[in-house]
Amino acid sequence: MQTSPKHVTILLTAVGGSGITTIIDHLRAIPELTVRLVGVDAQTVTVGQFYLDDFFSVPYGDAPNYADVLLDICKKNEVDLIIPFSDQEAWSLSKARRFFQGIGCQILTSPFHTYQQLPDKLAFMNELVSHQIPTPQFYSPRNMDELDRAVAALGYPEKKIAFKPLDGHGSRGFRIIEADFDEIDHILHSKQESKLSLTRLKRILQERETFPPFMLMEYLAGNHWTAEALISENQCRYIIPQEKRAPQNAAARLNRVVESPEIEALVKRIAAAFDFEYLINLDLGINEQGEFVPYEINIRASAVIMVTAAAGCSLLELAVLQAFDIEKNLPHFREVDVLRFYQENIHTTSFGKKS
């Protein structure tokens, strides 16, 4: 016997992000739900607002009043579920989770103590080591002497080194420290400056009053991978590995969805080590020993979550239904190449003095 769709209101954060229109269309198409969509963003004009039922400009996710502002919006709009699409917002909303649950609003995040346990890339790597899960070789130097020892231990100058800020997202701040390249030519002609000389790094650090936190990591040559997982009660319901085909070391545009028993086993080990709920996304590479090694995690719906829908097994759809206690299973994913690109959307708004 077919039941009528459940009427719900879902709030999306960071609706100025790339790919948001595809996510909006996908949520409206979930057959078990009739969805009213509300969106928020720190910007006053975003592409997402033209496709939503309602839109509000809010403070940034790390603002002290962010959760209070969202709670007020949820009360007035009778929001049933929030899906955060940025790390700062996921952190703040998870911390205030009980207040939202008090008005009947669920949040698609893990428990707050998990975010406290894994606040940045370095904490994630250290936790993996403590659970005897393989990682790339990494260091977080706190002064120039430790920097010199770290680059030597990583095999520089014979080997490249990955430079990563502890809290950077979407490849922001990522650089490759390399000895043999023309730095001026790279600055002048590269579309995205991705390389950094050790000399330049040291000069920048010496000019600062304090030594900023960052991580130096073994450079993982070759293909990189990502894995989306849906988790319930500390068990992985679905794991969908993807090979990043192009470009490498940046936000993926061409992904190949593939079977990988090795990645699936590794994701299960990581999921068992932490108290995750709903969606996680892992970035992985292959070390010199030929092992898959994780180096970054998103504890939320990721920017590439819609790749799973293209492969015939939408983890976003399943996570939303899980939040509403609606049981549904989807077929095993298809092995496919998924090319992601963004359609141009043109909208006009009025501005200037009123006549």
CA–CA separation, 44 vs 168, rounded Å?
A: 24
C-alpha radius of gyration, the chain, whole number: 22
* For residue 164, pLDDT beyond 70: yes
End-to-end CA distance of the chain: 58
Whether 156 and 202 map to the same domain: the answer is: yes
* 101, 121: one domain: no
Q: What pLDDT, on the 0 to 100 scale, is given for residue 351?
A: 54
Instruction: Say if 346 falls within a structural domain.
Output: no
Q: How many domains does the chain have?
A: 3
Across the range 186-211, mean pLDDT stands at: 86
CA atoms within 13 Å, Cβ hemisphere of 102: 6
**Phi, then psi, of 116 in degrees rounded to 5:** -65, -35
Model confidence pTM above 0.75: yes
pLDDT, one tens digit per residue, over 113-155 is 999 999 999 999 999 999 999 999 999 999 999 999 999 999 9
Q: How does the average pLDDT of the chain come out, rounded?
A: 91
Q: Judge whether residue 285 has pLDDT over 90.
A: yes
* From 19-23, 77-81, 191-195, 201-205, the region with the lowest mean pLDDT: 191-195
In a domain, 349, yes or no: no
Q: In angstroms, rounded to a whole number, what is the distance separating the alpha carbons of residues 293 and 335?
A: 22
Q: Read off the pLDDT of residues 201-245 as tens digits, 9 standing for 90 and up.
A: 999 999 999 999 999 999 999 889 999 999 998 899 999 999 988
Considering the domain architecture, whether residues 173 and 189 belong to the same structural domain is answered as yes
Instruction: Tell me how far apart the alpha carbons of residues 87 and 62 are, in angstroms, rounded to a whole number.
Output: 9
pLDDT tier, 173 (very low <50, low <70, confident <90, very high otherwise): confident
Q: Which amino acid is at 48?
A: G
**158 is in which domain, residue-wise?**
138-218
pLDDT at 145: 97
Residue 354 pLDDT greater than 50, yes or no: no
Q: How far is 146 from 130, CA to CA, in rounded Å?
A: 22
Would residue 144 count as lying in a domain?
Answer: yes
Single-letter residue type at 196 = L
- pLDDT, tens digit, 9 for 90 and up, residues 303-352: 889 999 999 999 999 999 999 999 999 989 999 988 877 666 777 776 54
Containing 150, the helix (H) or strand (E) segment is helix 144-153
Question: Which pLDDT score, from 0 to 100, does residue 1 have?
Answer: 43
The b-or-e profile of 340-354 (16+ CB within 10 A means b, else e) is: beeeeeeeeeeeeee
- Would you place residue 355 in the very low, low, confident or very high pLDDT band (cuts 50, 70, 90)? very low
Indicate if the pLDDT at residue 169 is higher than 70.
no
Quick one: which of 92, 102, 106 has its CA closest to 64?
A: 92
231 and 300 housed in the same domain: yes
Among 202, 218, 234, residue at a domain's last position: 218
Residue 146 near residue 139 (C-beta atoms within 8 A): yes
- How large a percentage of the chain has pLDDT more than 70? 93
In sequence order, what E strands does 219-277 have? 224-232, 235-246, 254-257
Residues 239 and 309 in one domain: yes
3-state helix, strand, coil split of the chain in percent (to 5) is 30, 25, 45
Instruction: Write the DSSP string, 266-285.
Output: HHHHHHHHS---EEEEEEEE
Q: Considering only 36-40, 184-188, 324-328, 340-344, which range has the smallest mean pLDDT?
A: 340-344
Question: What percentage of the chain has pLDDT greater than the value 90?
Answer: 78
